[in-house]
Amino acid sequence: MGRYTGPKVRLSRRVGVPIADIPKHTGKELTLPGMHGYRGRRNTEYGIRLAEKQKLRYHYCIQERQFRRVLDAAKKSKGNTGNSMLQLLELRLDNVVRRLGVARTIWAARQIVAHGHVIVNGRKTDIASFTVRPGDVITFKEKIHKLLRENMESNAGHNVPGWLEWNPAQLTAKVIALPNPEDVPFEVNMNLIIEFYR
């Protein structure tokens, strides 16, 4: 599977918002990349929708084909398409690991999952796009506990969303509800993204 391995701050600068909540992304003035950056360019209607879509894609670190698949699944589900799409993205296993605060970025969370350190309902799960459901119990292998505790110390002050029940002493989590759009700590206009694919 293809994945982005290039400079990450460049992605934040390209869309104009920090896609990761770490000083490297939030501490810089997010001007357009390149020597001259922003030089009075005006975005087109298409460009505005593209930037909004890329913002969401970069935040969850997924490829275009995966993103389209999530959108198609959201269209088939009942209710608001935008809300369903955010829900599906939030319930990805790599994102859940990030929301627990044991990894500082989505890339670190994905690595923890890919290396087989995450156990869902007693079974090792190394697929980052695995969708968790309410009632699922997430634990971690013993050999990574020390690293996760260090990550949690460096990530002090992180708030775990209300749809996750987190026990930091035992490093176990449970999905207790479906996430709401308000639970996403990221401002995005879902209407523009859905319009982009029309």
Here the CATH number for the domain that contains residue 100 is 3.10.290.10
In a domain, 4, yes or no: no
CA distances from 140 to 115, 144, 168 (A): 11, 7, 11
Give the CATH number for residue 76.
1.10.1050.10
Rg (CA), the chain: 17
In tens, the pLDDT along 34-53 reads 676 666 667 789 988 998 99
Same domain (yes/no): 161, 138: yes
The counts of H helices and E strands in the chain are: 9, 5
Same domain (yes/no): 158, 98: yes
Q: How many domains does the chain have?
A: 2
Q: Over 60: is that where the pLDDT of 1 sits?
A: no
Token pair, residue 69, equals 């698949």
Same domain (yes/no): 97, 42: no
Same domain (yes/no): 20, 77: yes
In a domain, 1, yes or no: no
Q: Give the per-residue pLDDT at 29.
A: 66
* pLDDT confidence tier of residue 137, bands split at 50, 70 and 90: very high
**Structural domain of 110:** 93-177
Secondary structure, 3-state, 134-162:
CCCEEEECHHHHHHHHHHHHHCCCCCCCC
Chain centre to alpha carbon of residue 109:
9
Q: What is the pTM of this model?
A: 0.88
Same domain (yes/no): 130, 159: yes
